[in-house]
Amino acid sequence: MAARKAAVGFSKGLIEEVHRWGAMKQTGVSLRYMMEFGSRPTPRNLLISAQFLHKELPIRIARRAIELDSLPYGLSQKPAVLKVRDWYLDSFRDLRSFPDIKDKKDELEFTQMIKMIKVRHNNVVPMMALGVQQLKKDLNPKIDYEDLDEIHQFLDRFYMSRIGIRMLIGQHVALHDPNPPPDCVGYIHTKMSPVEVARSASEDARSICLREYGSSPDINIYGDPKFTFPYVPTHLHLMVFELVKNSLRAVQERFMDSDKVAPPVRIIVADGLEDVTIKVSDEGGGIPRSGLPRIFTYLYSTAKNPLDEQPDIDLGTATTMAGYGYGLPISRLYARYFGGDLQIISMEGYGTDAYLHLSRLGDSQEPLP
């Protein structure tokens, strides 16, 4: 990275520091630990948490900055990717130039700073999507997507790391809330009802479907609404929303011109001892077996990237990832982040079942790419 002209504005010393920190070991945290630690947000614990982040965030960010700079096929040189890389370098510099955190005043200032870092990185996903699109334009039409597996693997690592960084920052910031909602520890709801979250995510997906098509299939949810377990509702909401949106679209497309009534999308919530599993089933015609390997990739999307036309639009408020073809791969990362997983089983000619497994124990460590 040191020799590259693109790293303009960043001193040689800083780039060397990035490499030093990028080689240090990352420390993962489990959901259970975040919950137990966060349940006592005393000034002393907030101080410990800030000191941990002061050391941990630059390590994680440095690794990403280095990787962003060594991507194959010239992806690192795409303007959108350079921009993302610069955001990572800016944040690394901000963190490293912050002095040791010794008291409450330092802690509050540090919290403000990481809050700002989180905002700086809001548009990383669409910006990287733009970079990938710029690359695809160069490589077309001879592109062999199998060769791009390296880029797919990189994006999986990159977005997984981003989920972790944003979780750590968001959690620390949220612990400062003087009046947290009942049963909430930062981002974690200690008594989250998956049925309730599935209901709310379904309603959101349904209203998008209504807006797009003028009508929408029904959604039936089966499961005990009183069953709860500790999880991050925003993560679950995002995953169920993406799955239901896909199902609604498939059913709608299949039945809108037919005189048959569209069959409902069915959501089943099962509470096992190890896993809570949420199945989203539709009769939207399924996915051909030959197409299945593609559905979890970042590189096949045919959707237009809005940034391509208006590079300066504010995506901070836009619906996340709408139309990038990122719904499934990103949802799977969210599931895996806390030790779960996402599987898609299809019956071509009939429909699709998505199995979303969430680990109930909450003691799996963050995956740290």
Ligand X SMILES: Nc1ncnc2c1ncn2[C@@H]1O[C@H](COP(=O)(O)OP(=O)(O)OP(=O)(O)O)[C@@H](O)[C@H]1O
The footprint of ligand X (CB under 6 A) covers: 242, 246-247, 250, 282, 284, 287, 295, 321-328, 352
Host H or E run for residue 269:
strand 265-271
Q: Is the dihedral of CA 181, 182, 187, 191 positive or negative?
A: negative
* Phi-psi group of 266: left, alpha or beta (phi > 0 → left; psi -120 to 50 → alpha; rest → beta): beta
Give whichever of 81 and 287 is closer to ligand X, judged by the CB atom.
Answer: 287
3-state helix, strand, coil in the chain (%, to 5): 55, 15, 35
Task: Output the smallest distance, CB 281 to ligand X, in A.
Answer: 9
Give whichever of 34 and 342 is closer to ligand X, judged by the CB atom.
Answer: 342
Give whichever of 53 and 299 is closer to ligand X, judged by the CB atom.
Answer: 299
DSSP H stretches of helix in 142-273:
149-174, 194-213, 233-255
Task: Output the smallest distance, CB 215 to ligand X, in A.
Answer: 18
Task: Output the smallest distance, CB 127 to ligand X, in A.
Answer: 15
Q: Is the dihedral of CA 268, 321, 163, 66 positive or negative?
A: positive
Order of strands across the sheet that contains 275-282? 219-222, 265-271, 275-282, 351-359, 341-347
Task: Output the smallest distance, CB 212 to ligand X, in A.
Answer: 11
Give whichever of 101 and 243 is closer to ligand X, judged by the CB atom.
Answer: 243
Task: Output the smallest distance, CB 324 to ligand X, in A.
Answer: 5
**Paired residues of 222 in beta bridges:** 268
Give whichever of 49 and 123 is closer to ligand X, judged by the CB atom.
Answer: 123
Give whichever of 113 and 208 is closer to ligand X, judged by the CB atom.
Answer: 208
Of 23, 86, 7, 21, nearest in space to 54 by CA: 21
Task: Output the smallest distance, CB 230 to ligand X, in A.
Answer: 27
Task: Output the smallest distance, CB 300 to ligand X, in A.
Answer: 8
What are the two backbone dihedrals, phi and then psi, of residue 165, each rounded to the nearest 5 degrees? -60, -45
Give whichever of 82 and 328 is closer to ligand X, judged by the CB atom.
Answer: 328
By Cβ distance, which residue is nearest to ligand X? 327
Task: Output the smallest distance, CB 36 to ligand X, in A.
Answer: 34
Q: How many CA atoms lie within 13 A of 228 on its CB side?
A: 13
Q: Are 230 and 276 in contact (CB under 8 A)?
A: no
Task: Output the smallest distance, CB 328 to ligand X, in A.
Answer: 3
**Paired residues of 269 in beta bridges:** 278
Measure the CA–CA gap between 40 and 50, rounded to whole angstroms.
14
Measure the CA–CA gap between 252 and 239, rounded to whole angstroms.
20
**Paired residues of 275 in beta bridges:** 359
Task: Output the smallest distance, CB 186 to ligand X, in A.
Answer: 27
Give whichever of 169 and 328 is closer to ligand X, judged by the CB atom.
Answer: 328
Give whichever of 119 and 318 is closer to ligand X, judged by the CB atom.
Answer: 318
**Residue 269 CA from chain centroid, whole number:** 22
Give whichever of 345 and 368 is closer to ligand X, judged by the CB atom.
Answer: 345
Q: Are 95 and 66 in contact (CB under 8 A)?
A: no
